[in-house]
Structure 1
Amino acid sequence: MGQSTPLRRTAIVVEDDAIQRDMIALLLEESNFEVIQCEDAETASLALKARHPSLLITDINLTLKMNGIELARLARMIDPTLRVVVISGQPPASPLPDGVTFLSKPVYPVTLLREATH
């Protein structure tokens, strides 16, 4: 008989800096997340609708039209229970949607994991 594998949670990481995106993804993968990496909010919004993740981590400043705060707002509209963490080197210029956590860069791995698994 085959062994059953524990269900892995899915996380979407949105960061236009490939090195930072890879580091966050690796950290989450080591904590048993399946990670979908996106470099812009438009791609992430499609992944949100298709994959129904339990976690979204997004930078505020992204390429293309939508920024991370707009993506966080959209994500919470799609799934009000979704855990959303917004990261940036600068404080957010506009208020964050209810239930969204802000972390300042540089983000420490322990802090990020605490928020991701909260």
Structure 2
Amino acid sequence: MGQAVCERSILVVEDDRAVRDLAAAILEETEFRVVEAESGEAALHHLKQHAEEVVLVFTDIRIPCFLDGVDLAQAVSTRWPWIKVVVTSGAPGDRVDHLPSAATFLPKPWSALDVLVAAEQAAGQPRSMSETR
């Protein structure tokens, strides 16, 4: 009859299924559970119910519906300031200038290592290679 353990997670927000699947597969290499959403609205819905579990939101800037990735990053940093945000885009335009100061921008195309390093830095989990010295 132990207490339920809160499983920490990363929320991947990307409307392009192939890119979302790739990012999720890469992020599954971390210790965190990966949750996927295809819009800012779906991401906010998940966060309203599970924000205490989420350590990182990894989002594209250009996602469908009303909220883009910058709007989502602003909402997360205001409502859930403990959640880190990594925003990515191949063509951010001037939207990148509107990111909250706590958000990290990762340009596309990114590599698997870029995603893992950004995620682990944002979540405060350094790569173990430096710890083995």
TM norm. shorter chain > 0.5: yes
Contact kept, 8 Å, 2:61 with 2:92, in 1: the verdict is no
Equivalenced residues, count: 113
Contact kept, 8 Å, 1:8 with 1:32, in 2: the verdict is no
Partner of 2:125: none
Q: Secondary structure at the match of 2:28?
A: helix
Q: Secondary structure at the match of 1:26?
A: helix
**Separation in 2, partners of 1:8, 1:28:** 15
TM-score if structure 1 supplies the norm length?
Answer: 0.89
Contact kept, 8 Å, 1:60 with 1:92, in 2: the verdict is no
Over the residues paired in the alignment, what is the CA RMSD in angstroms? 1.5
1:32, distance to aligned residue in structure 2 (A): 2.2
Sequence identity of aligned pairs in percent? 37
1:78, distance to aligned residue in structure 2 (A): 1.7
Greater Cα offset, 67-76 or 84-93: 84-93
Partner of 2:63: 62
The structure having more radius of gyration, on CA atoms, is 2
| Structure 1 residue runs without a partner (length 5+) | 1-5
**Separation in 2, partners of 1:96, 1:32:** 27
**Separation in 2, partners of 1:39, 1:114:** 23
| Structure 2 residue runs without a partner (length 5+) | 122-133
Per residue, is there more helix in 1 or in 2? 2
